[in-house]
Amino acid sequence: MKTRKLGTQGLEVSAIGLGCMGLSFGYGPAVERQHGINLIRAAFDKGVTFFDTAECYGPFVNEELVGEALAPIRDEVIVATKFGFQDGQSRKPTDSRPERIRQVAEESLRRLRTDHIDLFYQHRVDTKVPMEDVAGAVRELIEEGKVKYFGLSEAGLDSIRRAHAVQPVSALQSEYSLFWREPEKEIIPTLEALGIGFVPFSPLGRGFLTGKIDENTKFDATDFRNILPRFTEENRKANQELVSLIKETADEKNATPAQIALGWLLAQKEWIVPIPGTTKLHRLEENVGGASVVLGRDDLEKLKEALSKIVIQGDRYPAALQARIGR
């Protein structure tokens, strides 16, 4: 697999990474531990060198899983994790006090079985703590060798600029896909101007762009998608128009819809690195294959024209979660 550079500080990763959250959290019951380890190591065998986790996935158990899986190959991979929630629980308020950031770093290092965190993201902006203090705390960890690169997640323009002025930001991780293109308006141009990489999470629209979800799909009771307006039965039915469009391109390219969705992201900018997640080995193989999809200028223009006529139905998040992003 080819590699890509995130930011201008030297961070280089595989063109497609692995989002590990779903192995432990968010999309139904956690997988059996050995299965998760096997899947992560299979990703490495297929060329993936970029693995994404967070203290709040579980909480804590996802970092432990990733740490165990990658321990034998630690020096050959890039591990990203995150701080930013009180007690490491995403249902609690944000907490990016400098002393909390340092505490999270120390605890994550232990769970990840490593002496350094490659990429340390602020998971959500904490409006109670000046961004300069957050960036300064991470800068100290970088100076001590405990962290190598600084990242933000779902941050707004002002926060990105303020953080970057104190400690260069290597990557912004936010949602971006054919299902959610809002970052194209202001975020992507700002990242380009500042030399910051972009790591789209949910690059397959939380599974919707694979073509395997429709209005009849039933999610596990613990599945996060149950609370998302975009995933109501009515909106899933309405948004099938987008899936049909992707399937048409997939048929033309002898690829799957998921591979087209990933190939489309990779074609947007050379510093974009999507991190699809999965619990299934055959889906992992399919996603890795997305790195080989080539969409030319004509393909992209055709998709752009067709997308302009499609209106996606349903909000991305319920109001309480929406209030936490773009700050």
Q: Using the Cα atoms of residue 213, residue 218, residue 224 and residue 225 in order, give the sign of their dihedral.
A: positive
DSSP per-residue letters across 217-238? ----TTBGGGG-GGGSHHHHHH
Using DSSP, state whether 112 is helix, strand or coil. coil
What confidence score (pLDDT) does residue 119 get? Answer: 99
Query: What local confidence, expressed as pLDDT, does residue 310 receive?
Result: 96
Catalytic residue positions, numbered: 57
CA distance 264 to 85: 32
Residue 80 has what pLDDT? 99
Render 35-103 in DSSP notation, one character per residue: HHHHHHHHHHHTT--EEE--TTTTTTHHHHHHHHHHGGGGGGSEEEEEE-BGGG-TTSPB---HHHHHH
Can you give the pLDDT of all 327 residues of the chain as single tens digits?
Answer: 999 999 999 999 999 999 999 999 999 999 999 999 999 999 999 999 999 999 999 999 999 999 999 999 999 999 999 999 999 999 999 999 999 999 999 999 999 999 999 999 999 999 999 999 999 999 999 999 999 999 999 999 999 999 999 999 999 999 999 999 999 999 999 999 999 999 999 999 999 999 999 999 999 999 999 999 999 999 999 999 999 999 999 999 999 999 999 999 999 999 999 999 999 999 999 999 999 999 999 999 999 999 999 999 999 999 999 999 999
- Best CA proximity match to 326, nearest among 207, 183, 213, 189: 183
Report the pLDDT value the prediction gives residue 58, as an integer from 0 to 100.
97
pLDDT for the residue numbered 5? 98
CB 225 within 8 A of CB 219: yes
d(CA 195, CA 189): 10
3-208+269-293 folds as TIM Barrel (3.20.20)
Main-chain dihedrals φ then ψ at residue 118, nearest 5 degrees: -70, -50
Sequence ranges of the domains in the chain: 3-208+269-293
Please tell me the distance from the alpha carbon of residue 324 to that of residue 240, in angstroms, as a whole number.
Answer: 28
Alpha helices in the chain (DSSP H): 33-45, 61-70, 98-111, 131-143, 157-166, 187-194, 233-238, 240-253, 257-268, 281-289, 297-307, 319-322
